Structure 1
Amino acid sequence: MSGDNQPIYHHFIPRFYLRRWADSERRVCRFSKPYDRIIPKMVSTRGTGGEDNLYSLKSVAPEHAHWFERGPMKAIDTAANYVLGLLEAGKLETLTDKQRSAWGRFLMSLLMRGPRDIEVIKRVYAQEWQKLIPEIVADFQGSDNEITRSLAQTVPKMLALDSPMLADWGLEMAIDLMDHAGIGEMLINMEWIVRDVPEDGPELLTSDRPIMKSGELIQSDDFVLLPIGPKKLFIAVRDTETVKRVQAYDAAVQAEAVNRYVVGRAQECVYGTNGNQLDFVREHMGTKPEKTLFERLVEFRKRLGG
């Protein structure tokens, strides 16, 4: 397949996930602010929740430019789509270790696959290489090989902040982090719950920042929340005592609290089944912006003097 025939619109909010809010024509209600106020619009899941060439590789041949989207991201989403079907069907207890791992990887991806996440990791990765340029140049210049010595002057250009090669390496690093064994193991070993919102409760909304995570997932009351449909909420908690507290919490009240969080963190888009919650979205959208996972990691390193 040639590069021209490959998709250029890369979904950071996967279509399989958004379809849980879609009508029979696979349209969701997107709340966005194209001008001076938030408006609802029914749109196809094919044309929202993404960005042109978001994951495109810059330093490879055109036929390989979309490897990130068509390879690792497709694998993550395909496996997660199957697991989501099991969660919806109430088969949580039947999940295999492989399926729990697939869902944990998907949750991790949601924390770092958005446009701002990708921008930050590329920038930080390039800055790290900038620090190494003097040492690399010195090593090249000190080589006994004449060809290696002659390449020393090309190093600064190769490792420039806007280097396509470094941008691609940053994307590869993002995939490694999505598959981080330590964080993934914490997620997999948490207690998982799927809560149903009662019919008289509010429909759950989702957004371009849909996942809710507390702390570093090491404290007993840490949790992960993700709306997985208008009336279903996925929850992961650390221990059985927290499970009991969650289950004792009124599901309708919890749904409203989750909506405030998810809508409050939204950067550009909120999604629902229809426009009935327009007033709620207008009140809360973007009111509680939160730094990305990578931005928090960068700040943490700076505090440690890294």
Structure 2
Amino acid sequence: MSIPKKHHFLPEFYQRRWCSSEDKKLQRYSRPIEKKIVSERRFPSETGFEPFLYSLANLPAEEAQEIEQTFFKGIDDRAATALDQLHRSQTMTKDMGVYWWKFVITLMTRMPSDVRKYREFRRRLSESVVPILEEVKNLPEFANRASEIEGAGGAVVQDQTNSSTRGLVDLMSNEKLNSFLRQFHWRVISTDDAPHELLTSDRPVDFQLTPSGSRARIRLPIGPRLLFLGSENLREIEADVRSNKNQLTREVNAVVVGNAEQYVIGRTDTQSSFVASKMGRMRTESFVDMLLKGLNKATPAIEDGMRRALTEQAKLRE
């Protein structure tokens, strides 16, 4: 079994929708240095990846690829079928819809910066276990188990990279989140009437909450001329369906390009000026940023819960 080195955060099947029929390549925009946009033709296999991004540490080679080879491949293969259905008929079966929404969630959580931010959060959380274990170790009733408790603390910190990566997978698989999105109204609309094509990027999902946080809306380009819309509020979708497609395309492109971190992708190089003026210059809070904000607020309560759980566990093992 070959070990995949390229871990695509933008799956090839998704990028392929922007490939030209002539050269089978897409137009990739990047900004390797500030103020300079590089525009070049690339195959989907050549972009939207980071080597061993989702690998697990200190495991045999095949086991280390569990998340890339099993988790993401399982979702992406089925989402590719769902995307074919959306392109052919703007519909999809209920079964494919389940995997499509899982795929949308991964697009909001699998980007390199998401992985690094979540790993950093889990690193800080796991390291906070050490002083908690120190407190437990110093309790009189555990004096004869100090070395065992110290070893447990070391194991928690040592394994934090793998546990954080698996934690991110747990987040993507969260059934409450999946069920929430599956209740959305959705449509696929054509933007053929717009003079410019839709772009995508390494921040492809325009995810927005109302100011109160009570409703969510999603816009996702699924090709140069097709836009996937999802919302709890059917009226919001109907408004986009009725809207001026030129204005809608510009709005979506502004968000997708404005939030881009490494890459913007198009079918041609006709929007170079637009990309140069917008790329990475309108950063909004990502889905993972929103989640981590809530988790950081909850960290003291999490630590207190760990302290109680560790104390109880230590007592049970006496």
Letter of the 1:65 partner, please give it: A
Alignment of 1:71 with 2:70, yes or no, is yes
Q: How far apart, in 1, do the equivalents of 2:79 and 2:113 lie? A: 23
Aligned to 2:242: 248
Secondary structure of 1:187's partner?
helix
| 2:220–2:229 CA contact under 8 A, matched in 1 | yes
Distance 1:87 1:259, change over 3 A: same
Q: How far apart, in 1, do the equivalents of 2:150 and 2:168 lie? A: 29
Alignment of 1:8 with 2:2, yes or no, is no
Letter of the 2:258 partner, please give it: G
| 2:202–2:264 CA contact under 8 A, matched in 1 | yes
Aligned-pair distance for 1:303? 4.6
Aligned to 2:26: 28
Q: How far apart, in 2, do the equivalents of 1:91 and 1:284 lie? A: 30
Aligned-pair distance for 1:199? 4.6
Letter of the 1:243 partner, please give it: I
Secondary structure of 1:267's partner?
coil
1:18-53 CA distance string (max 9 Å, x none) = 000012443111001224510210011111001011
1:181-207 CA distance string (max 9 Å, x none) = 122112111111101012553100000
Q: How far apart, in 2, do the equivalents of 1:291 and 1:277 lie? A: 25
Distance 1:153 1:303, change over 3 A: closer
Aligned to 1:150: 147
1:208-264 CA distance string (max 9 Å, x none) = 1110011179645x3101000000000001133223222211122201111111000
1:106 to 90, 103, 108: 103
| 1:194–1:233 CA contact under 8 A, matched in 2 | yes
Q: How far apart, in 1, do the equivalents of 2:113 and 2:152 lie? A: 28
Moved more, 196-205 or 296-305: 296-305
2:276 to 282, 290, 294: 282
Q: How far apart, in 1, do the equivalents of 2:130 and 2:107 lie? A: 33
Size of the alignment, in residue pairs? 296
Aligned to 2:184: 190
Alignment of 1:117 with 2:114, yes or no, is yes
Aligned to 1:201: 195
| 2:193–2:245 CA contact under 8 A, matched in 1 | no
Aligned to 2:262: 268
Distance 1:62 1:79, change over 3 A: same
Q: How far apart, in 2, do the equivalents of 1:302 and 1:55 lie? A: 23
Normalization by structure 1: what TM-score?
0.88
Normalization by structure 2: what TM-score?
0.85
Letter of the 1:106 partner, please give it: F
Alignment of 1:298 with 2:292, yes or no, is yes
Q: How far apart, in 1, do the equivalents of 2:101 and 2:58 lie? A: 30
Letter of the 1:113 partner, please give it: R
Distance 1:227 1:77, change over 3 A: same
Aligned-pair distance for 1:153? 3.1
Aligned-pair distance for 1:138? 5.7
Alignment of 1:125-144 (within 5 A): 125-136=122-133
Q: How far apart, in 2, do the equivalents of 1:293 and 1:91 lie? A: 26
Distance 1:144 1:159, change over 3 A: closer
Aligned to 1:228: 222
Secondary structure of 2:246's partner?
helix
Letter of the 2:86 partner, please give it: L
Letter of the 1:267 partner, please give it: E
Secondary structure of 2:281's partner?
coil
% identical equivalent positions: 25
Alignment of 1:83 with 2:77, yes or no, is no
| 1:195–1:251 CA contact under 8 A, matched in 2 | no
| 1:28–1:44 CA contact under 8 A, matched in 2 | yes
Alignment of 1:214 with 2:208, yes or no, is yes
Q: How far apart, in 2, do the equivalents of 1:194 and 1:90 lie? A: 9
